[in-house]
């Protein structure tokens, strides 16, 4: 076992909230079993206990387990007592220690509201989470809790400071498309693809109008590229067409474009979905620090 990147080495200094002398299980063993179980698909405390029991022989290769596998109640109680921030910091360091970000890896920043997390009787609002997700590896790189969806804007830069994104492409939905995001991403040697909607002043309508004019003129004398994908399955057909522009004239008409550090391209993606007689059309717009390579952007 590589001690440098072992879970034990990252969590051995995590403060133990339990009463010393009354503990049957080592804190690091509880944590290691739980993390291994969750990575294997466990979704609750009972699943974690069942994983530990079924994998006891394997776990004993690197854990002592003098008292056997903790019960689901023990897992629940210990994790409810742990300092969440201290645990998260160590977990993120471990992930970065074993996770190698490949060139061009997509890191998706996503904000979600945890269903059922509110309690109106107790005056508790729903829990909002902002997460960084490495799409190719299927791995969560980090997560922050925010009070409301509006606070995602301040949480995203802080989250980006926590995780390793060098060489990656960071995607953020329209809520996070703020000029403050661009320098944070560029300074960490990454690129961005940001979704546009009506919450960026005039930027959305400027990009929309430019592409309308560009298509009307058949992109005459413009630096652009285009790409298309066609996916079929279960009687459905989805066609996606991407147009990417990197034209100085386009940037000149974009109001406040100079606030977007590293901006290299504006992007339009047309989606057509066919399901029997039903046909749906949707158009989305993006800005990116990547060159205008439509195939890559799509």
Domain boundaries defined on the chain: 3-98, 106-191, 203-297
- Closest alpha carbon to 83 in 16, 26, 158, 134: 16
Residue 138 contacts residue 160 (beta carbons within 8 Å): no
Determine the pLDDT at residue 288: 94
Determine the pLDDT at residue 124: 47
Determine the pLDDT at residue 43: 83
Determine the pLDDT at residue 1: 44
Determine the pLDDT at residue 2: 47
CA 244/CA 292 separation, integer angstroms: 5
Determine the pLDDT at residue 87: 87
Domains 106-191 and 203-297 share a fold: no
Residues facing residue 271 across a β-bridge? 240, 282
Determine the pLDDT at residue 54: 96
Q: In what order do the strands lie in the sheet with 265-275?
A: 139-146, 128-134, 106-113, 169-172, 191-196, 278-288, 265-275, 236-245, 224-233
Q: What CATH number should be reported for the domain whose range is 203-297?
A: 3.30.1300
Determine the pLDDT at residue 243: 96
- Closest alpha carbon to 59 in 42, 37, 41: 37
- CATH for the 106-191 domain, from 3.30.420, 3.30.70, 1.10.10, 2.20.28: 3.30.420
Determine the pLDDT at residue 52: 95
b (16+ CB within 10 A) / e for 61-73: eebebeeebbbbe
Question: C-alpha 186: how far from its chain's center?
Answer: 17
Task: Give the containing element (helix H, strand E) for 192.
Answer: strand 191-196
Determine the pLDDT at residue 117: 43
End-to-end CA distance of the chain: 40
* Tokens 């002043």 belong to residue: 201
Determine the pLDDT at residue 277: 86
The tokens of 209 are what? 């109008």
Segments of the chain scoring below 70 in pLDDT? 1-5, 96, 98-103, 111-153, 176, 199-201, 255-258
Determine the pLDDT at residue 267: 95
The tokens of 293 are what? 């390579």
């Amino acid at each position: 076992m590589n001690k440098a990147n072992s879970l034990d080495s990252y969590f051995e200094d995590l403060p133990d909230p339990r009463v010393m002398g009354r503990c049957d299980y080592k804190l690091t063993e509880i944590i290691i079993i739980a993390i291994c179980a969750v990575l294997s698909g466990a979704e609750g405390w009972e699943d974690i206990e069942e994983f530990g029991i079924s994998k006891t022989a394997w776990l004993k290769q690197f854990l002592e387990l003098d008292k056997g596998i903790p019960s689901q109640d023990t897992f629940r109680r210990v994790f409810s007592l742990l300092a969440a921030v201290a645990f998260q910091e160590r977990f993120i360091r471990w992930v970065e220690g074993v996770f190698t970000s490949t060139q061009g890896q997509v890191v998706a920043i996503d904000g979600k509201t945890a269903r059922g997390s509110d309690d109106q009787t107790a005056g508790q609002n729903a829990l909002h989470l902002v997460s960084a997700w490495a799409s190719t590896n299927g791995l969560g790189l980090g997560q922050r809790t925010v009070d409301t969806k509006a606070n995602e804007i301040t949480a995203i830069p802080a989250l980006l400071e926590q995780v390793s994104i060098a060489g990656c492409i960071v995607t953020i939905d329209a809520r996070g498309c703020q000029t403050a995001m661009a320098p944070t991403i560029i300074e960490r040697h990454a690129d961005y693809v940001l979704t546009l909607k009506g919450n960026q002043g005039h930027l959305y309508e400027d990009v929309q109008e430019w592409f309308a004019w560009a298509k009307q003129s058949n992109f005459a004398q413009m630096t652009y590229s285009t790409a298309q994908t066609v996916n079929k399955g279960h009687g459905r057909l989805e066609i996606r067409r991407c147009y990417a522009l990197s034209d100085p004239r386009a940037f000149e008409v974009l109001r406040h474009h100079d606030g977007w550090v590293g901006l290299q391209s504006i992007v339009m993606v047309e989606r057509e979905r066919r399901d029997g007689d039903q046909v749906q059309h949707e158009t989305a717009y993006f800005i990116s620090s990547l060159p205008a390579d439509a195939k890559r952007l799509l």
